[in-house]
A and B are shown apart, each in its own frame.
Chain A
């Protein structure tokens, strides 16, 4: 057999029926993750057609987007954003009960953001196909899984058949040479990659991240990296599994045990791309040239080093000029001005991109012994992350700095649960999208790493985390 990439190995192992000129491939799905926003209409289709969930043992649900991150009130009720949010969440509970789907419900010790909970439980494993009605499903590619977001119709397809109709995507190798400098994280790396590829640059492709800088990343960092593959337009991002992956997975509740573990690891060792495997496209990036990054515009590709200046449309190509002008107008920023020192109103540390324990440690390291100057929300990705952070005393660091320590959920990344910024406000956010109004209508988002966000909270303005001891 000719040398194959990681993607091709996972794809080949899941083809139920190969693609032809007339029909796409029928691809088998190992793990289907479900949340409240993109599933209700899919369950309705099953109900209308009297179909069961084919593999409830491969289907796992949690509640995250519309859930409150403030604790229960004195009377025991939850502070829902509105009746619709509450109705959507209870609809998921009813659907899971009716169709026999495992649910990590609000209030349970395993609830959290779907892309934090899946890996944490050991559900996500190398070589799997993983889907969810959520574009950030790409996160799970950090384990060497082929993981991608699907729409609600496809959620219904997977619920009913455990399969999807798919045309085989192209492959794109992103080779990251060198090493990231102190205070520079996977978030900065992925923002630099998206800036290079452009927000549509990965369309039609699955990215594989390769090279020494990728091998040096922790699992949390790999998840941050793969998570934002979709922001370059790629369906999925993957990192080949290695000892770091196996060590992180071992002993997790749903990971194989004993002999099954040894067998699984032996199979996972076969997954990395073969020597000489070919990709449809390749790009290279030098990690050592990357500084802490921040976005200035209205898509994740509009990123610059924190030490950089806001771009001037006059210097752009005619085709890009209108886009730049419109982004600058929305953001209210001055072309040619350094972004450092730009006053801000809110800091959000959380989301499926950056709400894991390492992210919280990085933010706490900057906030420790300092005070925040603006409203700052720290929202752990899961109940488990929250528990771990509290065991390490990170919650105290945040609270003593004046930040709010919240319950797990998507929160201010998507502003569906009542956590939002106001019209015109600037928010340095560790989330994944700086689209217009993403964090609240009229709000302005600057994407950055947890360390950069924490530094901004302390300074009340865009700041360089390296000046505040970020390692």
Chain B
């Protein structure tokens, strides 16, 4: 994982509430055995019609969405399955952060392991972002702040360990492997 300190981008807004992982990446795309190239399946059933043609009115198909790194979604983003394919698809499509008022637990865990920052904001900040698609924002992982176009800032929660891993590009597995003596001791005392 690459170290991630700041993200500057225009936003893409998907205002629907409760966007579930089956929408982020439908199950028929989960038959892969690697994680490359899943970006093309991102929001597949919203992006493409029954014949596989792009729907021109869907936000990710519009020219202004090109290169966007920050997705603003309705309340409770990422509910549903444990598929890590959801953050893999988002990251493969160029996203580095998702902003919502609530982010589902498993999605959040998965996102953090892939350099995708879950940014939970208050309702007022969220309402403003929903109303202003394409807003230029800046996310500072170290300061845990989201800066809005006119300089207003919102703080977002981030576990100290997750922040450390994001800032330093550290893989959690390495930390767990360093715990082997404690794990050995735990196993022998049970």
Contact = CB atoms under 8 A, between A and B. Distances in A.
A151 B113 contact: yes
A233 B182 contact: no
Given A22-B161, A157-B173, A437 B82 contact: no
Nearest to B74: A323
Given A134-B82, A154-B109, A436 B31 contact: no
Contacts of B179: 16-17, 26, 161, 163
B45 A151 contact: no
A22 B186 CA distance: 21
Contacts of B124: none
Nearest to A153: B113
Interface residues of B, number: 50
B105 A82 contact: no
A144 interface: no
A28 B74 CA distance: 35
A442 interface: yes
A31 interface: no
Contact of A235 (B75, B105, B173, B180): B105
B80 A135 contact: yes
Interface in A15-62: 16-17, 21-24, 26, 28, 37-38, 40-41, 44-45, 49, 51, 54
Nearest to B30: A37
Interface in A184-239: 199-200, 203-204, 230, 233, 235
Nearest to B75: A200
A235 B172 CA distance: 20
B82 A149 contact: yes
Contacts of A233: 76, 79, 104-105
A419 B28 CA distance: 11
A152 B84 contact: yes
Contact of A24 (B20, B50, B159, B173): B159
Interface string B54-90: 0000000000000000000011100111111000000
A438 interface: yes
A40 B35 CA distance: 10
A233 to B, nearest CB: 6
B159 to A, nearest CB: 6
Given A151-B106, A161-B179, A199-B79, A24 B161 contact: yes
Contacts of A436: 22-23, 45
A200 B109 contact: no
Contacts of B187: 28, 162
Interface in B151-169: 159-161, 164
A22 B31 CA distance: 37
A299 B183 contact: no
A264 B83 CA distance: 34
Contacts of A265: none
Interface stretch (A84-92, A333-341, A363-371, A393-401): A84-92
Nearest to A132: B82
Nearest to A66: B31
Contacts of A387: none
A409 interface: no
Contact of A161 (B82, B159, B180): B180
Given A160-B176, A435-B22, A200 B106 contact: no
How many A residues are at the interface, by size bracket? 35 or more
A435 B45 contact: no
A441 B26 contact: yes
A167 B31 contact: no
Nearest to A89: B31
Contact of B83 (A151, A154, A199, A200): A151
A79 to B, nearest CB: 15
A450 interface: no
Contacts of A82: 31
A44 B110 contact: no
B22 A438 contact: yes
B175 A437 contact: no
B22 A437 contact: yes
B23 A134 contact: no
Given A38-B83, A134-B81, A85 B31 contact: yes
A440 B75 CA distance: 25
B23 A161 contact: no
Contact of B161 (A23, A149, A322, A442): A23
B28 A133 contact: no
Interface of B: 15-18, 20, 22-23, 26-28, 30-35, 45, 50, 74-76, 79-84, 102, 104-106, 109-110, 113-114, 159-161, 164, 172-173, 175-177, 179-180, 182-183, 186-187
Interface of A: 16-17, 21-24, 26, 28, 37-38, 40-41, 44-45, 49, 51, 54, 65-66, 82, 84-85, 87-88, 91, 133-135, 137, 149-154, 156-157, 160-165, 167, 169, 199-200, 203-204, 230, 233, 235, 299, 322-323, 326, 414-416, 423, 433, 435-438, 441-442
14 contacts: A16-B183, A22-B160, A26-B176, A37-B30, A38-B82, A38-B83, A134-B82, A151-B82, A165-B161, A165-B172, A199-B79, A233-B79, A233-B104, A437-B22
Given A199-B76, A199-B79, A203-B104, 14 more contacts: A17-B179, A22-B161, A24-B161, A26-B182, A28-B183, A135-B81, A151-B84, A151-B106, A156-B173, A157-B172, A203-B76, A235-B105, A416-B31, A433-B20
